[in-house]
Amino acid sequence: MAWCLARSIALPLLVLASSSALAHSWYPVSCCSEQDCRPLDEEKGETATESKDGWRLWDGRIIARGIAKLSPDRQFHLCETRTKTILCFFAPSGGA
């Protein structure tokens, strides 16, 4: 019985850990040190809207069109330092 309980707890943890690792697997090394990149969380108000200047983030920062990279999973991703310096930004093809 204890073995079944341990297995039922371990499996979801393994799935969560591997999905986090997979999310970082495609970020270029120049953008991320396995901790700087993440998808935007719309539920927390993190949005990107297209503007004539490029992409406007929820906090007012602007990312020029020429800097944005194509997102392979059709989601917005942001790579930034702890001081909010943008390293890379990924946008889906065709915008939002």
Rounded CA gap, 10 and 25, in Å? 22
35 CB contacts (<8 Å, ≥6 apart)? none
The answer to the question of residue 72 being in a domain is yes
87 CB contacts (<8 Å, ≥6 apart)? 30, 31, 32, 36, 37, 79, 80, 81
Segment 19-72, tens digit of pLDDT:
444 455 788 888 887 678 999 999 999 999 998 889 999 999 999 988 999 999
Q: Name the residue range of residue 75's domain.
A: 27-91
The answer to the question of residue 4 being in a domain is no
The overall pTM is greater than 0.85: no
The total number of structural domains that make up the chain: 1
Q: Between 90 and 32, whose confidence is greater? A: 90
Q: Is the pLDDT of residue 12 over 80?
A: no
What letter would DSSP give residue 42?
G
The answer to the question of residue 54 being in a domain is yes
The answer to the question of residue 75 being in a domain is yes
